Amino acid sequence: MESIRIKQSTTNHILVWVIVLITAGANEITTWNSTMVIAMFLTLFVFISRGKKIDNAFIYFSIVYFLIFSIHVFKFGYVDLREAREYIKIFYAYIFIKLVYKDLLKHYTDIIYKLALISLPLYVLQLIDYQMMKSVIGIIEHHISFLDYREDWYENLFVFTLNDQGMYRNSGFAWEPKGFGTFLTLAFFFQLILNNFKFFEKKNIVYLIAIATTLSTATYSIFLLGVVLFYLYNQPSSTKIFTSIFLVPLIVIAFTQLDFMEKKILYEYETKDKYTKYVTDTTYKGASRSLGRFGSFLVDYKDILKEPLTGYGLFSEERTRYSVMGVKLVHVNGFSDLMAKMGFGGLFFYIIFLFYSFKQIQKRFNFKGYFIIPTSILITSFGSAILLTPLYLALFCYGMIKKENNDT
């Protein structure tokens, strides 16, 4: 019996590795639809071999999903199979979380710890000789043409990424420094839960160093206003007061003095109209162009006002243009993109279930302030399209698992 448990734990660990890399989407292989489908079928095989059953909550969710899909087909007059693909991703996320349910936090924090450790010496080498590191990290992409991803300004070797747009920042294994930061802050949240809110312990110190190297506005903001708040919320009143006396001035200084904090946020907000003009700009010749956080929100908000109840689903051609003369317009605001895809009703449902999932995690691990984590995730999504990635969909599905299956 003991050997079966060890084998199951090892399998779960591998499953978490796979979903983390697919969620990171940092290279051609992890972004292929076939990769996700293969991962889904392998996970389904494990699911069936363990005798797992689909929860009623997920069955009801699936019925509603395909009902809305039917509404989209009727409304827009054609079938877009991308919505079926999106369901496969959700199904994959559900069976994954059903399998690793009780061990997710443990495996996730361990994997991100290892990836953060790997990133730190590579980041030092990146600062010493960036071009040399590009030749090393891009060794596969440079020799296998169909694996080339995002042209010459970007290189990835699964465990590390080099991005010319962040030459002095640590992207870790993710697609960019900001993306790496989302994995790190989530790991910090989970490690606090697992380790009885010990702030300066081995894994958290590594996370903290890695977070510092991202130089990411979003990551620093979530850490200071989310992770630190979560830590204080679970401390005795005396500790809260004493720690706050030192932390509040530090947070204020960080936001007002670091160029990529307050100034960057204000700059993006003040230039939002410039970003929205990209939807009609035919003079730009690059491969893609970002609409920015606030620009994306404004464009998506105008769309959702036209389809407020059920949104557009994956019928992106019906929304404000996603490309202009072959130039891809990147909607970086994951929150508003979700809103435009699912409508206000779907967005409300997503938020409710995400909060409910963390309420269940709180019951299992016995801590306070569960609402801080999903709130931080939603704020993070304002600058990263993470909400519909497999890992975060798994967190969304966490609350669908029946209580009697919690410890299986």
What average pLDDT does this structure show over 263-277? 57
* Residue 95, CA atoms < 13 Å, CB-side half-sphere: 23
Structure tokens, 76: 């827009």
Distant-in-sequence, close-in-space partners of 277: CB < 8 Å, separation ≥ 6: none
Residue 1 pLDDT: 42
* Nearest CA among 329, 334, 330 for reference residue 354: 334
What average pLDDT does this structure show over 182-202? 96
Q: Over 80: is that where the pLDDT of 136 sits?
A: yes
Hey, what amino acid is at 283? T
Confidence of residue 27 (pLDDT cuts 50, 70, 90): very high
Q: Over 60: is that where the pLDDT of 261 sits?
A: no
Confidence of residue 258 (pLDDT cuts 50, 70, 90): low
Q: Over 60: is that where the pLDDT of 335 sits?
A: yes
Residue 322 pLDDT: 62
What average pLDDT does this structure show over 221-249? 82
Dihedral of alpha carbons 12, 350, 338, 343, sign: positive
What average pLDDT does this structure show over 66-79? 89
Residue 279 pLDDT: 66
Mean residue pLDDT across the chain: 87
pTM of the model: 0.90
Q: Over 50: is that where the pLDDT of 341 sits?
A: yes
What average pLDDT does this structure show over 189-197? 97
pLDDT-wise least confident of 177-186, 247-256, 293-302, 390-399: 247-256
The DSSP code for 227 is I
pLDDT in tens, 145-181: 778 888 788 999 999 999 998 899 999 999 999 999 9
What average pLDDT does this structure show over 303-322? 84
Q: From CA 59, how far away is CA 65, in angstroms rounded?
A: 10
Q: Over 80: is that where the pLDDT of 127 sits?
A: yes
pLDDT in tens, 103-125: 999 999 999 999 999 999 999 99
Confidence of residue 266 (pLDDT cuts 50, 70, 90): low
Main-chain dihedrals φ then ψ at residue 168, nearest 5 degrees: -110, 15
Confidence of residue 283 (pLDDT cuts 50, 70, 90): low
If 0-12 CB within 10 Å is exposed, 13-18 middle and 19+ buried, where does residue 193 land? buried
If 0-12 CB within 10 Å is exposed, 13-18 middle and 19+ buried, where does residue 200 land? exposed
CB 33 within 8 A of CB 39: no
Q: Over 70: is that where the pLDDT of 337 sits?
A: yes
Q: What is 96-137 written as a DSSP string?
A: HHHHHGGGHHHHHHHHHHHHHHHHHHHHHHHHH-HHHHHHHH
pLDDT-wise least confident of 26-35, 205-214, 276-285, 360-369: 276-285
Residue 286 pLDDT: 60
Residue 408 pLDDT: 46
* Nearest CA among 122, 248, 127, 119 for reference residue 181: 119
